[in-house]
Chains A and B, each alone.
Chain A
Amino acid sequence: MEKHMYELTKHEELILLAILKLKENAYIITLRRHIKNITDKSINYGSLCNTLSALIRKGYVKSRESDPEPKQGGRRKVLYSLTPEGRRALKKAYEIQKLAWDGLEKTIMEFE
C-alpha cells in the first residue's frame, strides 16, 4: 500500500467523478455532456479521449463493451468504470482537498 500515488490533475479528477456519478451509464457521450453541465464549459472529444486512455493506462479506469444498444443503432458501446485504484485515488484527492479547504469554506463564500 506504500505504492506511490499519482497526483490527479483537475481534469482527471473531474472525469473520474463523472464516471462515478454516471454509474452504469458512463460512456463518452454522457461523460462529455455531464462535464459540460457542471462546468458550463464544453470540452472536446479529443482531450476527453486522451485523458481517458491515460487513466486506463494508469489503471484507474477500466473499459468494457456494453450489450447492443438500440440508441446506438444496435451497436455496442464502450462503458467506463472505476477500478479500486481509481476509487482510492479519488479518496486520496478528496482527503487532500478537505484538508486544504479546512476552515476556509466560509471565508471563500464571503468573497462574493
Chain B
Amino acid sequence: MKPSRSKFPKFGDWLLRLFARYDVNPHLRGDFDEEFSFIYETKGYGRAWFWYWTHLLRSLPVFIKDILYWRFVMYKNYLKTALRSLKRHKVFSFINIIGLSVGLACCILILQYIKHEFSFDKFHENSGYIYRILQHQKGNIYQGTDIFNTTPAILAPSAREDFPHDAKLTRVKNYERQVRFDNKQFYEKRFLYAEQEFLDIFSFPVVKGNPKTALKEPNTVMITREMAQKYFGEKDPLNKIINIDNKQDYRITGVLENVPDNSHLKFDFLASFSSLLSTWGQNQLTSWQNSSVRTYIKLNKNSSPQKFNSQLKKYDTVGFGGHPASFHLQPLLDIHLGHKVAFDLPGKGDMRYIYLYSAITLFILLIACFNYMNLSIARSFSRGKEIGVRKVVGAKRKSLISQFLGESLVLSLFSLVLALFIVRLALPVFNYLIGRNIQFDLLTNIVFVFCLIGLGIFAGLIAGIYPAIFLSSFKPTTVLKGRSESISKSTTSLRNALIIVQFAVSVCLIICALVINQQLHYIKNTKLGLDKDSIITIPMPNKRMWEKYNVFKSELSQQANILDITASKSLPTEIDNTAQVRLGGKNQGETLRVWVNWVDFNFIDFYKMNIVQGRNFIKESPQDLENAYIINETAAKAVGLEDLRGKKLGRGQIIGVVEDFHFAPLHSEIQPLVLMLDPGSLKVLSVRINSNDISNTLSFIQNKWKRIFPDFPFVFSFLDERIESMYETEMKLGQSFNYFTLIAILLSCLGLLGLASYMAEKKTKEIGIRKVLGATVPNILVLLTREFTRFVFLANIIAWPIAYFAMNKWLQSFAYRIDIGLWIFAVSSLLALFMALLTVSYQSIKAATANPVDSLRYE
C-alpha cells in the first residue's frame, strides 16, 4: 500500500528544504521521501515516521552548521567590500551619511511631535466617553466661526436635573487671579473653577486630600504639586488659607499632580465652582444669558452622543444679539486637533500644521534618499567590475540585490545613530518652534525604539532599492569589457529627474520662506494708526486699585523720563469687547455690532491718534462721562452720515471720529469701534517713557508701586512686544521654514556636489582633449555647468505654481497682506541657481584648469 501524499511529514520536508544545501536539496528530499514510503509499505506508518525524524534530526545540525558557515563567509565578504567602498569614496559616504542622518533626525522629531499631538487627553481613563458641549449661535460670527465652546451657566444644572441617568456634567470657568500667601503674591493665569464632578469625569490624579469632597464647599481650592512647591515649599499645604484678588480667602483642600503637557485643559489652581457665587451672584449662575462657562460631560454607558445631542435640543434658546443658539457634543479627543471654535484655549493644535510639517520632513528625507540613489548609480561604473566578477563566479541576481540593499541598510542604520545625536541637539530649537515641551528619552519607550529601527530600514530600502535592482542587472560581459558609457547613459534621465525634483522642492521652500518673512515684515511695519513705541503696560485688574489711580499717576509724573500716562479697559491693540447698538439712537434703527473700549479722557492723545472730525473727550466733563462716544471711521461709514455732529448711536452721543487704527491682529479687517469714558471699567495702565535709561525708569515705577499698592504684584510688559507676540504662530512658522529651507538646500547642494565631482572625473579625458584642441577655461566651465543650470531652470518651472498656490492660500488668512511679487520668484530662482553654480564651481574649476598632460598621459 502506497502512502497518500498527506501522510508525508510536511514539516520535516519543509525543514529539509530550508536547511539542506541547495546543491543536494532536491535529491535529498526525494531520497527521504522514497525511503519513507518504502518503510511505510513494509513496516507501517509508525516505523516510517520514526525513521524519517531520527534521520532528519541527526543530519539537521550538520546542515545548519554548513549554511551558517558559508553565509557568514559571504556576509563577511559583503561587509568588507561595503566598508572598502565607503572608505574609498569618502565624499560620497560623507554626503550620504550626513544627508540621511539629517533627514532621519527631521523624521524622528516630527514623529515625536505627531505622537505628542495625538496623545492629547488620552490619559483620561474615560477619554472615549467625555465630551465638551459646544454652542452654535447661527450667524453670530466671532473669531471666524459661529460655534462657541462656552455655554450658558445654567445649562449643566438643567441637564443634570433633566437627565440624571445619562451623564455626569461639570461647569468649568477659567480666570486670571491674583494669589497671595504671606509675602508671596503672583498673578495666576491658570486658575480654574469647577464642580465636584470634575475630578470624577477627568482623571487628574489627586496626591493629597479627598477627591470626593475637595470641591464641594465654597471658597475651597486644590493646587498642583508645582504650586504647592511655589507657595509653601516643603510645608504641607493642606488647610492653608490663600488670598484671592485681595478680596476672598480660599482654603486649600487638596494637592493634584501637575497637569500633563498633553492636556488641553491646563490649570495650576482648581477652585470649587460655588466660590463664584460671591462674585457672580445667584443671577449670573442661573442665567441663560451668561454664556461664559465651559461644560464638560461624561456619558454613561447606556447613553450615546446621538441620543444626548437630541436631548440637548430641549435647550435651544436665543443667544447673543438675537441669534438662535443650540447645543451639541464634541468628543474630548477631538478638541485638541479638531476644527477651530470661538474662545479656544491657548495651545490648541492644528491638523494643518501636522500635515505641513510631515510633508516638509518627508521631502527632506526624500532629498537625502535621492542623493543616495543618484550617487550610487553615478558611481555604478566603479562597482561594475565587482558585480561582473561576482556574477562570473556564480552570484545570483537575488544575492547581489540583497548585498546592495544590505549596504544601504548598514548606511542608514549608521545614519540613524548619528540622527539620534542630532535630535538631542536640535530638540530645544524644535520645541520652541512648535511651542511644545517634548521630552526625548529613548530608553523608556521600547515601541518607539522599534519605530526608529523601522524608520531606518524604511529609509535604507527607499534609498537602496533602485540602485540595487539597477546594479544587479549588469551583464558581466558588458561591464567586464569596460563599456561603462552604455550603462551610465541609460540612467541619465532618471538621475536628472531626481535632481530636478530636489531643486524644485528647494525652490518651493525658498519661495515660501521669502513670502512668509515678507508678510511678517509687513505686519511689523504696517502703520497701526497709533504710536506703539516705548510704552509700558501694567495690568491693574482689581477695582480697589483704581481708587489710588490719580495718586499713582501724579507720583509717576514727577519723573522726567515718564512722559505720559493713560488707562483703559483693554489695550488699544487688543480690544475684545463687543456690543450691539442701534444706528438711529436708543431703540431706533438697525442694530450694528461694534467693538467697545472704555478709556481715560487722554487716551487718544496718549496714543497719538488723529481726530478726523468733531472733538476729543474733555477732562472731567460730566456730559462726556455720561454718554459721549468717539467712533472710528469704519463705524462712521456704517452709520452713513457725512456730518456726525449731534447724531446718536445707541444711547450715546457721537462727539467725534477717530482715524481707523488696527485694534486687532491684521488677520481681520478693521471693524466699527466705539470709545467711551468710564473710570469704573478701567483695567490696564499705559505709561509712555523715554527710551533712554529704561531700567531706571522701570525701577522707579516699581518702587512707587510697592509703596502705593503693597498688596498687588507688579507686572508689566512692553506694548510693542505684546503686539509681536500676537503673531507668534506666524513668526514660528517663518522660522521653521527658514530652518527647513536651509536644510533642504544644503542637502540638495551636497548631492549636486557629489554628482559634479563624479561628472568632472568622468569627463577628465574629454576636457583634456578639448584643451589640447584649444578650448579655453571659460569654455570648459560652460560645458560643465550648462547642464546643471538647465536643471535649476526646470525645477523653477515646477516649483513656481505650487509655491504660489500654497502661499496664496496662507495669505488669505490675513485681511491685510502683501502681494506675491514677481521679484520673489526671481530672487528665489537666482538664489537656487547661485547655490547650484557655487556648488559645482569648485569641481568644475579644478577640472577645467587641470593640465591636460595629466589626464591624457595614459592614453
Contact = CB atoms under 8 A, between A and B. Distances in A.
Contacts of A77: 27, 30-31, 34
A103 interface: no
Interface in A71-95: 71-73, 75-78
B30 A76 contact: yes
Nearest to A69: B30
Interface string B10-40: 0000000000000000110111011101100
A68 B518 CA distance: 77
A51 to B, nearest CB: 16
A33 B35 CA distance: 10
Contact of B29 (A29, A65, A75): A75
A55 interface: no
Contacts of B37: 71
Nearest to B8: A73
Interface size class of B (residues with CB under 8 A): 10 to 19
A35 interface: no
Contacts of A20: none
A73 B37 CA distance: 11
Given A29-B38, A45-B55, A73 B29 contact: yes
Contacts of A72: 29-31, 33-34
B31 A29 contact: yes
Given A71-B34, A72-B33, A72-B34, A78 B27 contact: yes
Contacts of B26: 75-76
Nearest to B27: A78
Nearest to A71: B34
A28 interface: yes
Interface in B594-639: none
Contacts of B35: 29
A69 B29 CA distance: 12
A52 to B, nearest CB: 12
Interface string A4-40: 0000000000000000000000011100010000000
Given A29-B34, A29-B35, A76 B27 contact: yes
Contacts of B33: 72-73, 75
A28 B31 contact: yes
Main secondary structure of the interface of A (DSSP, over half): mixed
A27 B26 CA distance: 14
Contacts of B34: 29, 71-72, 77
B52 to A, nearest CB: 12
Interface in B625-670: none
A75 B27 contact: yes
Contacts of A65: 27
B12 to A, nearest CB: 13
Contacts of A29: 31, 34-35, 38
Interface string A38-75: 00000001000000000000000000010001011101
Nearest to A27: B31
A18 to B, nearest CB: 16
Contacts of A73: 8, 29-30, 33
Contacts of A33: 38
A48 to B, nearest CB: 11
Contacts of B31: 27-29, 72, 77
A21 B382 CA distance: 57
Interface in B652-697: none
A75 B38 CA distance: 17
A69 to B, nearest CB: 7
A39 to B, nearest CB: 18
Nearest to A79: B27
Contacts of A28: 31
Interface in B681-720: none
Contacts of B27: 65, 75-78
Q: Of B26, B30, B31, B37, which is in contact with the most chain A CB atoms at under 10 Å from its CB?
A: B30
Q: Of A45, A69, A73, A76, which is in contact with the most chain B CB atoms at under 10 Å from its CB?
A: A73
A28 B26 CA distance: 14
Nearest to A78: B27
A33 B31 CA distance: 13
A77 B32 CA distance: 11
A29 B36 CA distance: 11
Nearest to A33: B38
A42 to B, nearest CB: 12
Contacts of A75: 26-27, 29-30, 33
B47 to A, nearest CB: 14
A16 B37 CA distance: 26
Contacts of A27: 31
A69 B27 CA distance: 10
A98 B41 CA distance: 40
Nearest to B37: A71
19 contacts: A29-B34, A29-B38, A33-B38, A45-B55, A71-B34, A71-B37, A72-B30, A72-B31, A72-B33, A72-B34, A73-B30, A75-B27, A75-B29, A76-B26, A76-B27, A76-B30, A77-B27, A77-B30, A78-B27
Which 3 pairs, one residue from A and one from B, show the smallest C-beta to C-beta distance? A72-B30, A75-B30, A75-B26
Given A28-B31, A72-B33, 8 more contacts: A29-B31, A65-B27, A71-B34, A72-B29, A72-B34, A73-B29, A76-B30, A77-B34
